[in-house]
Chain A
Amino acid sequence: MSDFWKRFSRNRGAVIGIVILAVVVLVAILAPMLFPQSPWRMVQRPFLPPLSMNQYPLGTDALGRDVLAGLAYGAQVSLLVGIVSTVAALLVGIPIGALAGYFGGAADDVLMRFTEFFQTVPSFALAIVLVAIFEPNIQSIIAAIAIVSWPPVARLVRGEVLSLRSREYIEAAILSGQTSAAIIWRQVLPNTLSPIIVLASLMVATAILLESSLSFLGLGDPNMMSWGYMIGAARTVIRQAWWLSFFPGVAILLTVLALNLIGEGLNDALNPRLARRGK
Chain B
Amino acid sequence: MTEPVLSIENLTIALPEGAERAFAVDGVSLQLFAGEILCIVGESGSGKSMSANAMMGLLPDLVRPVGGRIVFGGVDLLDKTEAELMDLRGRKLAMIFQEPMSALNPLMRVEDQIAEVYEAHRLLSPKTRAARAVELLTEVGIPDPAKAAEAYPFQLSGGQRQRVMIAMALALEPEILIADEPTTALDVTTQAQILKLIRDLQRKRGMAVMFITHDFGVVAEIADRVAVMQLGKLMETGTADAVLDNPQHAYTRKLIAAIPRLAAGQAPARKEKPPVLEVESLSKTYRTGGGLFSRPRVVEAVKDVSLQLAEGETLGIVGESGSGKSSVGRCLVRLMEPDRGTVRLAGRDMAHLKGERLRAARGSIQMIFQDPYASLNPRARIGRIIAEGPMAHGVARREAYERAARLLELVGLDVSAINRYPHEFSGGQRQRVGIARALALEPRVIIADEAVSALDVSIQAQVLDLLADLKERLDLALIFITHDLRVAAQICDRIAVMHKGELVETGPAHDIFNRPRNAYTRTLIEAIPGREKELATAG
Tell me the A residues contacting B by CB distance below 8 Å. Answer: 167-169, 171-179, 182, 186-187, 190-191, 277-279
Contacts and interface: CB of A to CB of B under 8 A. Distances in A.
B370 interface: yes
A172 B369 contact: yes
A179 B358 CA distance: 11
A154 to B, nearest CB: 22
B367 A177 contact: no
B359 A168 contact: no
A168 B374 contact: yes
B283 interface: no
Given A176-B441, A177-B392, A182-B392, A187 B377 contact: yes
B393 interface: yes
B297 interface: no
B363 A172 contact: no
Given A278-B61, A279-B16, A279-B62, A175 B375 contact: no
Contacts of B366: 175-176
A168 B385 CA distance: 13
Contact of B440 (A176, A182, A186, A277): A176
Interface in B337-370: 359-360, 362-363, 365-367, 369-370
15 contacts: A169-B375, A172-B367, A172-B369, A172-B375, A175-B335, A175-B365, A175-B366, A176-B363, A176-B440, A176-B441, A177-B392, A187-B380, A190-B379, A191-B378, A277-B61
Interface in B360-405: 360, 362-363, 365-367, 369-371, 374-380, 385, 388-389, 392-393
A186 B380 CA distance: 9
Contacts of B375: 167-169, 172
B369 A171 contact: yes
B335 A176 contact: no
Nearest to B374: A168
Given A175-B362, A191-B378, A278-B62, A168 B370 contact: yes
B437 interface: yes
B282 to A, nearest CB: 18
A138 to B, nearest CB: 36
Given A177-B362, A179-B392, A182-B392, A169 B333 contact: no
Chain A contact residues, majority secondary structure: helix
B289 interface: no
Given A190-B377, A279-B18, 15 more contacts: A168-B371, A169-B376, A169-B377, A171-B335, A172-B369, A173-B377, A173-B388, A175-B333, A176-B392, A177-B392, A178-B388, A178-B389, A186-B380, A278-B61, A278-B62
A176 B374 contact: no
A277 B16 CA distance: 13
A215 B224 CA distance: 80
Nearest to A174: B335
Interface in B181-213: none
Nearest to A191: B379
A2 B365 CA distance: 42
B338 to A, nearest CB: 16
A173 B525 CA distance: 36
A24 B280 CA distance: 69
B359 A191 contact: no
B288 to A, nearest CB: 15
A167 B362 contact: no
Given A169-B377, A279-B16, A176 B333 contact: no
B374 A167 contact: yes
Contacts of B62: 278-279
Contacts of B378: 191
Contacts of A187: 377, 380
Contacts of A279: 16, 18, 62
A176 B389 contact: yes
B335 A178 contact: no
A186 B434 CA distance: 18
A168 B392 contact: no
A173 to B, nearest CB: 7
Contact of A186 (B61, B333, B371, B388): B388
A167 B376 CA distance: 9
* 4 A-B pairs with least C-beta separation: A176-B389, A168-B375, A168-B369, A178-B392
Contacts of A176: 362-363, 366, 388-389, 392, 437, 440-441
Contacts of A277: 61
Contacts of A191: 377-379
A191 to B, nearest CB: 6
Contacts of A178: 388-389, 392
A1 to B, nearest CB: 13
Contacts of A173: 377, 388
Nearest to B62: A278
A182 B389 CA distance: 11
Contacts of A169: 374-377, 385
B371 to A, nearest CB: 6
Nearest to A182: B392
Contacts of B437: 172, 176
A182 B391 CA distance: 11
Contacts of A190: 377, 379-380
Contacts of B335: 171, 174-175
Nearest to B449: A168
A171 B62 CA distance: 37
Contacts of B333: 175
Contacts of B363: 176-177
Nearest to B61: A277
A77 to B, nearest CB: 36
Contacts of B365: 175
Contacts of B380: 186-187, 190
B367 A175 contact: yes
A176 B392 CA distance: 7
Contacts of A278: 61-62
Interface centre among A172, A176, A178, A182 (most CB of B within 10 A): A176
Contacts of B367: 171-172, 175
A224 to B, nearest CB: 40
A168 B374 CA distance: 6
A226 B389 CA distance: 52
Interface string B56-89: 0000011000000000000000000000000000
A10 to B, nearest CB: 13
Contacts of B16: 279
A185 to B, nearest CB: 12
A166 B440 CA distance: 22
